Structure 1
Amino acid sequence: MADQPTATEPKYVTDALIADDIDAYLATHQHKTMLRFITCGSVDDGKSTLIGRLLYDSKMIFEDQLAALEADSRRVGTQGQEIDFALLVDGLAAEREQGITIDVAYRFFSTEKRKFIVADTPGHEQYTRNMVTGASTADLAVILVDARKGVLTQTRRHSYLAHLIGIRHIVLAVNKMDLVGYDRATYDAIVADYHAFADGIGIDAFTAMPISGFKGDNITAPSTNTSWYDGPTLIAHLETVELDSDAAAAQPLRMPVQWVNRPNLDFRGFAGLIASGTVRPGDAVRVLPSGKTTTVARIVTLDGDLDAAVAGQSVTLTLADEIDCSRGDVIAAADAPPQVADQFEATLVWMADEALIPGRAYWLKLATQTVSATIHQPKYAVNVNTMEHLAAKTLDLNAIGVAELATDRPIVFEPYASEGAVPNKALGGFILVDKLTNATVAAGMLNFSLRRAQNVHWQALDVGRAEHARLKNQRPAVVWLTGLSGSGKSTIANLVEKKLHRMNRHTFLLDGDNVRHGLNKDLGFTEADRIENIRRVGEVAKLMADAGLIVITAFISPFAAEREMVRAMVPEGEFIEVFVDTPLAEAERRDVKGLYAKARAGQLKNFTGIDSPYEAPQKPEVHIDTTTMTAEQAAERIVDVVIGDA
């Protein structure tokens, strides 16, 4: 055993590692509860400094870290302060250079009573999405306010987001009290201002305290500088606040299935994290969305079977009956199951530089479920300063709004917010992912299902697509010609139909210009309208293919996501994408309709190739290079593919 440090040596984590009874020390810390919280607020309110102070005062800094911190503090210059606590958290070079927080920094520390994970979130508006990321797993939010500046826009924004995400415990930390002489009137005015705002957004209660991260006032011990304050210190409050996990255990059982555990033919279990409730062998459960019921046979873990498992534990459940259950399903209490629906109202926090495109399909990930979801035009956006509901056609970066969405199949869910209850983060919170870039574009909360989704059912038909195709003696197909305006799509499509007609094939041609005279005459040429144009055409093409027809379409269809959306509508192998590849310069030279000239002159807005993008197919079934092939040759090649596939 190493010698104990002398009285002059700093007492940090190394003390614990050389304790006389390491086993007892580890056992004590293993059974402590865990609180996750965030610090947020406006720029330079002292969030990083506060966390650095918490780490320092809780003896969670190693000696080599302390030495490096002191060296960094001297290098950046800290106005006479021996240690710049913010440097403990601001890890990015850009953060240290600018003295701000950009990314979310997670830090761990503990006290004698509880363990903590704290997320230091950035104050700049442009990094609001980072704040949402940090808040998504938090039980408590520490909203910092600079005593010199009072409640600012970002204070309101972050408070609104914390409340929206369902954080029930709010601490208003009026920081830098040392810079206002610990003036009580200043503190009281800030608390009153925040109280008025909090009431307006539905925050029923919060805990206010005057602090100084720089000096350590009311952080771990009561400060003599604020003798007029008789509330708890920050650490004391963090150690005693109620945990959401405790409340979650009292809710009905919910366990999203992450993995079907099948190591051999004699064992089949369903692994996942219990989101809420308690489960015991013999409990009646319901598997959703199928609705099948059974009972729990065993609760299996690496350390052996359990008599019970509660929210927060990862386990494998085996069921008494052989019922269909796979990843994405939810095992729930049989007598209190969650809901199943495919249309919802949701609140969105938009996190991408590219604005929301109504009508476009995104991946929606909720718990272990991944589905395709289409977002409608927002009902409104929220002004976080005034709480006004503003008309909105889209949502830009950091915007918050409410919109309806539809998924391609029913999902298991619960409303995110329930009156007086812990938020249903597992089955109510989701993210949206761009299908092309795989970038997360939004975080969302499901408000409620649209009841009409439960009242519309597929009608069983005795004569289906197979019978229609057999009658026509052909295999249905959707031949989708895409390319720039003037590329020759309509000419080639017309030739393809003529050739197939001479071969006694049953066809129908949908042309981009023709459908805009009827079916889509209400649509313009904005990005959202183009998406809706293709969606409608895709649905029509699908119905015609169900009737056994070979459907030929000629549309610019500039966006890859929408072409993939149509591909997903029909059975695999029946969508034949044809890229009519014509260079922009050649398409402009042809310019039969004079459209490019108008677009270049600014008389025609949102024209593909000029001021609206065209996303060329990466792996089309047929690639037609019109600079080397005639229209006749192109049509022959397409027909060969269609007939060959048939």
Structure 2
Amino acid sequence: MSDLLRLATAGSVDDGKSTLVGRLLYDTKSVLADQIDAVTRASVDKGLDTPDLSLLVDGLRAEREQGITIDVAYRYFATPRRSFVLADTPGHVQYTRNTVSGASTAQLVVLLVDARKGVIAQTRKHAAVLALLGVPKLVLAVNKIDLVDDPARVFADICDQFNALTRSLGWSPEDVQEIPVSALHGDNVAVRSENTPYYDGPTLIEHLESVPVDADVHGRHEIGLRFPVQYVIRPRTAEFPDYRGYAGQVAAGSVRPGDEVVILPAGTRTTIERIDTADGELDVAHAGRSVTLILADDVDVSRGDVIAAPAAAPEPIGQFEATVCWLAEKPLRPGARLLLKHGTRTTQAIVGTLEERFDEQTLTSVPTPESLELNEIARITVRVAEPIAADDYKVNRRTGSFLLIDPAGGNTLAAGLVGNSLAEIELGDRVPA
């Protein structure tokens, strides 16, 4: 079991995400005493009998004034069994793009539902986005379960609706855990609650501590080495007159001295002579490790190239299909000339056709839309000026993802997934544009 879990929260406005995150921090003793004192004083000023734990995480004044979370914030906490990195994402529909950012590296997402409201439109939207992002594990936290008259029936009904939704989006039952909670009172967060006799499963903390996840958050299949070259190191000093190393982070697989590799997109083959780090040489480097590779041959390698295992190495592509989530206010239209960033390579790109837009509420698609608006998801075609060594996103999340960037201002316009991720979802009939 990995000793680090990357997770994110998602849900609708006012469903209690900030309170739940505050409760996790509080119950795992991950906040300082003076922070608790400050929250207690602020809660008394608001006329509350108990500390408002949401104040532990909604630190921005704009958030406090509006009563909503408006940006992605990363929280760190730990238990004796595991450490956690949590991306606390917004719930409002206009901030779906932030949810995409927060969940893009998550191994598990806690999706909150207000027991009084059940599965609503925003729940379906978030679940669909998480499916497209390939999030492997889900927790359905049915919050405010103490505020409904028949909690056992309400919990069962919500679970039935949610399970039908997740099955249609491609998750198997063993990848989804449903838990009735009260973030305000702490029921089934860290301590099992006597108020939910109809539930005999784990608490939220127990599940987070024990859920099996891949140590490599980005890997979904074993595909061999993927090493995007970030920087070519040539010190040209008297001490190192002939040194040439290729620095970067192992994106997938592992590498050892003596391994045969191929340089993409050129296709040149060579072997690994040595693996250097600031602390000395390594016998092996696994995914996530930043290293400098020394090659046995003097071959042409530049920033943006990918050093890969020859077996099942990706074929460099110049035109491909992709699923994108549009993140900009200005609509995307066919023919747009943008920059595409894949790994460490940035190249010019032209958006071809908008094949279909995904309607996350009805799980249907709209063929050939005229444009793509903020937060909308679609399948498009892309042509790039320089080939990229990309894997299908279904195979590896890191080597199959890219960004579309505004060439004028440098702003990120879209998050993209190589391949047709929409095919993973059981779409209904197409509806007219």
TM norm structure 1:
0.62
Partner residue of 1:607?
none
Partner residue of 2:399?
427
Partner residue of 1:284?
260
Structure with the greater relative contact order (CA < 8 A, sep ≥ 6): 1 or 2? 2
Partner residue of 1:119?
87
Q: Distance in 1 between matches of 2:108 and 2:315?
A: 28
Partner SS state of residue 307, structure 2: strand
Partner SS state of residue 342, structure 1: strand
Deviation per residue, 1:481-518 (Å, 9 max, x gap): xxxxxxxxxxxxxxxxxxxxxxxxxxxxxxxxxxxxxx
- Cα distance 1:56–1:78, how it changes in 2: closer, same or farther (>3 A)? farther
What pairs up with 1:248-267 in 2 under 5 angstroms?
Answer: 248=219, 250-264=222-236, 265-267=241-243
What pairs up with 1:298-377 in 2 under 5 angstroms?
Answer: 298-377=274-353
Instruction: Specify the code of the residue in structure 1 equivalent to 2:98.
Output: N
Q: 2:33 aligns with which of 63, 66, 70?
A: 63
What is the root-mean-square deviation in Å for CA atoms of aligned residues? 1.7
Work out whether 1:445 is the aligned partner of 2:414.
no
Partner residue of 1:204?
172
Partner residue of 1:139?
107
Q: 1:219 aligns with which of 166, 189, 192?
A: 189
Partner SS state of residue 256, structure 1: strand
Work out whether 1:232 is the aligned partner of 2:196.
no
Partner residue of 2:425?
none
Partner residue of 1:268?
244
Work out whether 1:403 is the aligned partner of 2:380.
yes
User: Size of the alignment, in residue pairs?
Assistant: 412
Rg larger for: 1
Q: Report deviation, 1:73.
A: 2.4
> Hey, which of these two has a bigger chunk of strand by percent?
2
Deviation per residue, 1:313-356 (Å, 9 max, x gap): 11111010111111101111122312211101111101111100
Q: Which moved more, 1:324-333 or 1:226-235?
A: 226-235
- Cα distance 1:333–1:149, how it changes in 2: closer, same or farther (>3 A)? same
Structure 2, unmatched stretches of 5+, are 422-433
Q: Distance in 1 between matches of 2:47 and 2:373?
A: 38
Deviation per residue, 1:181-231 (Å, 9 max, x gap): 571110000000111222222222311111111111111121111122111
Deviation per residue, 1:24-74 (Å, 9 max, x gap): xxxxxxx97221111101111111110100000011111222222223323
Partner residue of 1:416?
393
Q: In the alignment, is the contact (CA less than 8 A) between 1:182 and 1:225 conserved in 2?
A: no
Partner SS state of residue 357, structure 1: coil
Q: Report deviation, 1:145.
A: 0.3
Instruction: Specify the code of the residue in structure 2 equivalent to 1:86.
Output: S
Q: Report deviation, 1:112.
A: 0.5
Instruction: Specify the code of the residue in structure 1 equivalent to 2:15.
Output: D
Q: In the alignment, is the contact (CA less than 8 A) between 1:273 and 1:312 conserved in 2?
A: yes
Q: Distance in 1 between matches of 2:279 and 2:225?
A: 22
- Cα distance 1:78–1:344, how it changes in 2: closer, same or farther (>3 A)? farther
Q: In the alignment, is the contact (CA less than 8 A) between 2:323 and 2:420 conserved in 1?
A: no
- Cα distance 1:107–1:182, how it changes in 2: closer, same or farther (>3 A)? farther
Partner residue of 2:426?
none
Instruction: Specify the code of the residue in structure 1 equivalent to 2:382.
Output: L
Work out whether 1:90 is the aligned partner of 2:58.
yes
Q: Percent of counterpart pairs with the same letter?
A: 49
Q: Distance in 1 between matches of 2:249 and 2:266?
A: 20
- Cα distance 1:201–1:280, how it changes in 2: closer, same or farther (>3 A)? same
Instruction: Specify the code of the residue in structure 1 equivalent to 2:386.
Output: R
Partner residue of 1:37?
7
Q: In the alignment, is the contact (CA less than 8 A) between 1:345 and 1:404 conserved in 2?
A: yes
Q: In the alignment, is the contact (CA less than 8 A) between 1:285 and 1:294 conserved in 2?
A: yes
Instruction: Specify the code of the residue in structure 2 equivalent to 1:61.
Output: V
Q: In the alignment, is the contact (CA less than 8 A) between 2:6 and 2:86 conserved in 1?
A: yes
- Cα distance 1:102–1:344, how it changes in 2: closer, same or farther (>3 A)? same
Q: Report deviation, 1:244.
A: 3.0
Q: Distance in 2 between matches of 1:376 and 1:74?
A: 58
Structure 1, unmatched stretches of 5+, are 1-30, 419-423, 450-646
